[in-house]
């Protein structure tokens, strides 16, 4: 041959997958246990991964960045083929869901940032009398979850 085409094997050992994905082998075994990725075995029982697994692992990492648990990632990936690249329909279905998730997360952080900067910017630096940003301290009543950054008692009287 002109060049060696064998350099990129199409079944990866766990060590290779680990090196390429940047995940520890132990983590990959763990992912497999959870059903996030899968492998075939050699006669001797060693794992061999399809190259597409690399994509799945990357997917998992990305999912975690967005704040998904491994369980949610598995669920999301259930819609993607395990052994080949996803096609248009498959991918866009998943991507759309993700995008909204990412956007939500971004929006949340932006609100946070506004409050953070807001109190500095609006001149009420003591944070004590800024009704704009501290509309009472009833926040708890709205249940756990989104809440004012700085909540405090309203001006008594």
Partner DNA sequence: CTGCTACTTCAAGTTCGCTTGAGGTCAAGG
Partner DNA sequence: CCTTGACCTCAAGCGAACTTGAAGTAGCAG
Interface positions with DNA (CB under 7 A)? 13-16, 18, 24-27, 29-30, 39, 42-47, 64, 69-71
Q: Is 151 exposed, middle or buried (0-12, 13-18, 19+ CB in 10 A)?
A: middle
Min CB(46)–a second copy separation in Å = 21
Determine the interface stretch with a second copy among 29-37, 42-50, 71-79, 85-93 (rule: CB under 8 A). Answer: 85-93
Alpha helices, H only, 46-140:
52-66, 70-77, 88-121
CA distances from 131 to 10, 47, 124, 146 (A): 62, 61, 10, 18
Q: Select from 28, 39, 49, 86 the one that contacts a second copy (CB under 8 A).
A: 86
Between residue 111 and residue 130, which ones bind a second copy under the rule CB under 8 A? 112-113, 116-117, 119-120, 125-128
CA–CA distance, 129 with 136 (Å, rounded to integer):
11
Answer whether 86's CB lies under 8 Å from 95's CB: no
Token pair 């050699």 in the structure block, residue: 42
| Burial letters 6-42, b for 16+ CB under 10 A, else e | eeeeeebbbebbbeebebeeeebeebbeeebbebeee
Q: Which is nearer to a second copy, 45 or 88 (CB)?
A: 88
CB of 61 to DNA, least distance (A): 8
Q: Does 75 bind a second copy (CB under 8 A)?
A: no
Q: Which positions lie near a second copy, rule CB under 8 A?
A: 1, 3-5, 7-8, 19-23, 51-52, 54-55, 58-59, 61-62, 65-66, 85-88, 91-92, 95-96, 98-99, 102-103, 105-106, 108-110, 112-113, 116-117, 119-120, 125-128, 137, 139-140, 143-144, 147-153, 156-157
């Amino acid at each position: 041959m002109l060049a060696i085409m064998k350099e990129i094997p199409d079944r990866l050992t766990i060590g290779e997958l680990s090196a390429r994905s940047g995940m520890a082998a132990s983590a990959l075994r763990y992912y497999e246990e959870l059903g996030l990725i899968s492998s075939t075995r050699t006669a001797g029982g060693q794992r061999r991964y399809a190259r597409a697994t690399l994509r799945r692992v990357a997917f998992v990492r990305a999912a975690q960045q967005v704040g998904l648990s491994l369980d949610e990632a598995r669920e999301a990936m259930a819609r993607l083929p395990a052994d080949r690249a996803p096609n248009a329909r498959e991918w866009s279905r998943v991507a759309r869901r993700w995008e909204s998730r990412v956007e939500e997360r971004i929006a949340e952080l932006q609100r946070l940032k506004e409050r953070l900067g807001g109190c500095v910017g609006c001149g009420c630096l003591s944070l004590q009398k800024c009704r704009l940003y501290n509309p009472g301290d009833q926040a708890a009543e709205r249940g756990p979850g989104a809440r004012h950054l700085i909540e405090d008692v309203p001006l008594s009287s």
